[in-house]
Amino acid sequence: MSHTELTDTPFDPWRDFSTLTAARIALGRAGGSVPTRELLDFGLAHARARDAVWTPFDRDGLVAELELAGLKSIALDSAATSREEYLRRPDLGRRLSDESRDKLTARTAAGTACDLCLIVSDGLSARATCHAVSIVVPLHSRLVGDGWSIAPIIVVRFGRVALLDEIGQRLGATVSLMLLGERPGLGSPDSLGAYFVYGPRTERSDADRNCVSNIRPDGLPPAAAVETLHCLLTASRNRKLSGVELKDERALPARSGVVGRI
């Protein structure tokens, strides 16, 4: 007797796979389309992604939260003056405003070279910055315990990834690390990305940077992200490099007698 004769519905192996991923698989169909329930769910996910892009960034609130945790912070702006301009002109998000540049110039005049500058920005999802404190505070503590000198936390509005090079270079940092909201996906509007570069300079390219992405409770949990970043940053400083030449070489947990590499 076949499986279909023993059940009310035909056997569908995709249904089991759908329990292992948040990806949209095994949606079923209603005639030539998807079921109404799945169509409405897709519309809701799309609306949440749009909201994440347009949600205002509470920069000063994040600065206050970091200060409350005992971490001195500085609020800065990119050259983009509004959310609309930031989305239309990606180049403006890659450099500081004149006023913010003057703030950092005043700091470097006093001699503030450091091992690490740590930056937080809204990027394409201000909602994602809700995870920033749970990463910055424990990571800062671990690195200071390892002997790193760290500049005050930079919290910048309307930033793009490449801005980490200008800020790091102006602060005389050995390594520059930026946490910022990633482009929202359908189902991941609060995803935070972490990018870092050894020897930050404005002429650096994407190949010189490392990225740890999808940091969120339903993706890479913040605690796991701290472990990964601590490992990679330590290796970066010791080996004096970053980018395509730097890999996460920790052993994967043993599974069925097999040990792999991350």
Q: Over the chain, what HEC string results?
A: CCHHHHCCCCCCHHHHHHHHCCCCCCCCCECCECCHHHHHHHHHHHHHHHHHHHCCCCHHHHHHHHHHCCCCEEEEEECCCCHHHHHHCHHHHHCECHHHHHHHHHHHHCCCCEEEEEEEECCCCHHHHHHHHHHHHHHHHHHHHCCCCECCEEEEECCCCCHHHHHHHHHCEEEEEEEEECCCECCECCCEEEEEEECCCCCCCHHHEEEEEEECCCCECHHHHHHHHHHHHHHHHHHCCCHHHCCCCCECCCECCECCEC
Any domain includes 221? yes
Any domain includes 7? no
Task: Please tell me the predicted confidence (pLDDT) of residue 110.
Answer: 60
Task: Please tell me the predicted confidence (pLDDT) of residue 175.
Answer: 98
Any domain includes 3? no
- Residues lower than pLDDT 70 in the chain: 1-12, 109-112, 252-262
Question: What does the pLDDT look like over 110-147, one tens digit per residue?
Answer: 666 899 999 999 999 999 999 999 999 999 999 999 99
Any domain includes 67? yes
Domain span at residue 239 reads 53-245
Any domain includes 82? yes
Any domain includes 32? no
**CATH of residue 213:** 3.40.50.11240
Any domain includes 95? yes
Q: How many folded domains does the chain comprise?
A: 1
Task: Please tell me the predicted confidence (pLDDT) of residue 192.
Answer: 96
Task: Please tell me the predicted confidence (pLDDT) of residue 261.
Answer: 44
Task: Please tell me the predicted confidence (pLDDT) of residue 106.
Answer: 80
Task: Please tell me the predicted confidence (pLDDT) of residue 32.
Answer: 82
